[in-house]
Amino acid sequence: MRELCHIGWMHNRVRVIVGSFLTKNLRQHWQHGARWFWATLVDADLANNSLGWQWMAGCGADAAPYFRVFNPVTQAKRFDPDGQYLRRWLPELAEEPLALLHGPWRDADLLRRSGYPAPMVELGESRQRALEAYGALTR
Ligand SMILES: Cc1cc2nc3c(=O)[nH]c(=O)nc-3n(C[C@H](O)[C@H](O)[C@H](O)COP(=O)(O)OP(=O)(O)OC[C@H]3O[C@@H](n4cnc5c(N)ncnc54)[C@H](O)[C@@H]3O)c2cc1C
């Protein structure tokens, strides 16, 4: 989100990850994300943006299946294995070892001294709640 605020752009992979996090882990309506992207993206496009968010939320024309919840940590390990992207946009963690960069919340002292905010939600629990909520809609 810092990259989006600073340069008005995000790679598609990051748009997919934040789209999944907002609509599934935080269970927020996709239109909240679409409005923020519309206000901040230099390439904001009504069709691509709306359909991108609906795809993420599992409610679009050819949407991703609702049970597909992207894990930001495994995605970071796969697409940013050396932490270059994380170090650029998380300067407060830039000097930390890779293992902590992909999970700073595992070190309470690091959270205290870096000022890095503690996670908003626990990824596993919030994923389970999202699957239950979506599952209830399909019954
Ligand atoms: C939640 C979400 C919101 C998005 N919002 C927008 C938006 O507002 N405007 C926008 O142009 N794209 C949007 N996209 C699609 C895609 O993320 C961007 O087009 C792409 O990241 C732009 O980077 P680029 O120009 O380097 O693309 P490149 O990978 O170089 O692709 C070149 C062009 O192809 C088109 N394109 C590429 N990927 C997609 C895609 N997945 N869907 C549709 N068109 C694509 C775009 O016009 C892009 O400029 C969104 C995707 C998601 C998941």
Mutation test residue for ligand 1: of 38, 43, 79, the one with most atoms within 8 Å of CB? 43
User: Residue 137: what pLDDT?
Assistant: 85
Residues of the chain with pLDDT under 50: none
CATH for 74? 1.10.579.10
At 37, list the tokens: 């992207």
Residues 6+ apart with CB under 8 A from 97: none
User: Residue 40: what pLDDT?
Assistant: 98
Any atom of ligand 1 within 6 Å of the Cβ of 23: no
Query: Does residue 96 contact residue 104 with C-beta atoms inside 8 Å?
Result: yes
What are the φ/ψ torsions at residue 58 (nearest 5 degrees)?
80, 20
User: Residue 78: what pLDDT?
Assistant: 97
Task: For residue 63, report the distance from its CA to the centre of ligand 1, in Å.
Answer: 16
Any atom of ligand 1 within 6 Å of the Cβ of 53: yes
Residue keyed to tokens 């519309």: 38
**What total of structural domains would you count in the chain?**
1
Structural domain for 114, as ranges: 1-139
Question: How confident is the model over 95-131, as pLDDT tens digits?
Answer: 999 989 999 999 999 999 999 987 899 999 999 999 9
User: Residue 132: what pLDDT?
Assistant: 95
Nearest CA to ligand 1 atom 20: 12
User: Residue 2: what pLDDT?
Assistant: 96
Neighbours of 59 (CB within 10 A): 16
Task: For residue 44, report the distance from its CA to the centre of ligand 1, in Å.
Answer: 9
Neighbours of 48 (CB within 10 A): 13
